[in-house]
A and B are shown apart, each in its own frame.
Chain A
Amino acid sequence: MTRLILRLLNAPFLILIVAIGIALQSSLFCTWPLIYLQPDVILPVVVWCALKRNFDEGGIITLIIANMGEIHSAAPSGIFLLSYMIVYLLVRAASRYFVIQSLISFAVVTLISSAGWTLIGQLILYLLGISASQWKHTLTFMLLGACIEGVFSIWAFKWLEKFDWSTFKNLRAEQAMEDELQLNNEGF
């Protein structure tokens, strides 16, 4: 029973942790030159959801945490929602064609996603007619940001794996739980 409750609480806890992560990101990295080194807390979670959650749950979590990001930014309404959702869908599509198994491959996906997210954001802004002249600045810091994101994601994914294991959300923990429930039903 406790395991089932923990499993149900996985998503709310994950959202809560992201909220705390955003608070840490926005205040720890607010001084110059640390502002250029700040990792995006939301992106690794979006990638994780794309690779480790079912389509509906991952999508809903992505929308919620993207909205949390939006209220901590001056970004126009919907920009983060759309750009994170596109990243989510692309990573999900990529996982059907490529073998993304190890943490390192997760990190590579996050690195590419980071660059992709920046470009998608710029494209949306361009289409809205907002940031016609900011692309040079964006491109200058895009690679640095992606590298930082890649390095940060290794640590983030290790932590998320532990988190999923402790809340019985990953496949092995699920299997172990089901085996135990079956044994209980059979009277062992």
Chain B
Amino acid sequence: MIKYLKQYRFYIVLFLFILIPVIAIDTSTRAPREYRFYDRVIVGLTSPIQSAISWTLEQITSSYENYIYLWHTHKDNIALLEENRKLLNSIAGLRETQQENIRLHKLLKFEEKFTLQSVVARVIAKDISSEFRSIRINRGESSGIHQNMAVVTDEGIVGRVLRTTRSTSDVVTVLDLLSAVDAIVERSRARGVVEGLTDDTCQMKYTLRTDDIQPGDNLISSGLGGIFAKGMNVGTVSKVNRKPFGITQDVEVRPSVDFTKLEEVLVVLNGDWE
């Protein structure tokens, strides 16, 4: 027996190397796995680094935009420059606070409109793969966040919580190909499912060819699925391709949330629709 094991060792190991990933692929459900113990150790190691880098980048960008950029325009006057540096530094801090204040105010108004109980979280990292589009936020189980909670901004739906650790959560955005949001066209009440397509577009699937959908139509969540409240903005129809045959039509959607500028989000702990 041992002789055979030694003789065919390479093939046995090769078989195991292929078998392990194949077993890991869960084809029966589209729900991703929860974090295991060693996954949590890895995330515990990487998330502080991600938070630190994200904070540093924010500070550098803020300094560049508000201070260094203006530095050359005042180089003739050294005395004024010194004073100007100090003032600009204070202004930069204040402006950042003001911008944050405006954003948080908008989020608060949105929260009041839908009677949401929620927590504000900051985006600290994005997906390592360009094929999938999740984000990582700096709030987790310790803030009451659990799997499948809705994540929104005042602009509309961002996505849902995929998995959590104590201090971070991964959010699968509406741009991700694993995302599915049941939506209705605000004007004609046509129904479909919005799924991710590219870095800035989604597609609305399962809409009947006879449904009245036009570019520019606004899409809102239908409330089905129990994750998102009814009436939240999903996006705007950007392209409709109605073929002369078949039962469905191709509808491209531009999400209402600008994911390139996403900094803070609201994680909905519970809402009045539940």
Contact = CB atoms under 8 A, between A and B. Distances in A.
A71 B130 contact: no
Nearest to B26: A77
Interface in B2-36: 10, 13-14, 17-18, 20-27, 30, 32-33, 35
Interface string B239-271: 000000000000000000000100000000000
Contacts of A38: 128, 130
Interface string A77-98: 1111110010011000000000
Interface string B126-148: 11111111111000000000000
Contact of A27 (B20, B54, B162, B199): B54
B125 A74 contact: no
A38 to B, nearest CB: 7
22 contacts: A24-B49, A27-B53, A30-B126, A35-B130, A35-B199, A40-B129, A55-B14, A59-B17, A62-B17, A66-B21, A71-B43, A72-B128, A73-B128, A74-B127, A77-B25, A78-B23, A81-B24, A82-B21, A82-B22, A85-B21, A131-B177, A145-B130
A122 B129 CA distance: 12
B57 interface: yes
A68 interface: yes
B198 interface: yes
A138 B178 CA distance: 15
Chain A at the B interface: SS class: helix
A76 B49 contact: no
Given A30-B126, A75-B129, A130 B26 contact: no
A141 B126 CA distance: 17
A26 B47 CA distance: 10
Contacts of B162: 74
B177 A134 contact: yes
Contacts of A22: 46, 128
B255 to A, nearest CB: 14
Contact of B178 (A23, A29, A56, A130): A130
Given A55-B13, A71-B42, A130-B178, A25 B128 contact: yes
Contact of B129 (A27, A28, A73, A81): A73
Contacts of A26: 46, 50, 125-128, 136
Contacts of A133: 197, 203
B25 A78 contact: yes
Given A74-B170, A75-B129, A85 B18 contact: yes
Nearest to B39: A71
Given A71-B42, A74-B32, A76-B178, A30 B130 contact: no
Contacts of A27: 49-51, 53-54, 57, 124-125
Contact of B133 (A62, A74, A82, A85): A74
A85 B134 CA distance: 23
Given A26-B128, A27-B124, A133-B203, A74 B198 contact: no
A55 B21 contact: no
B79 interface: no
Interface string B146-171: 00000000000000001000000010
Contacts of A79: 25
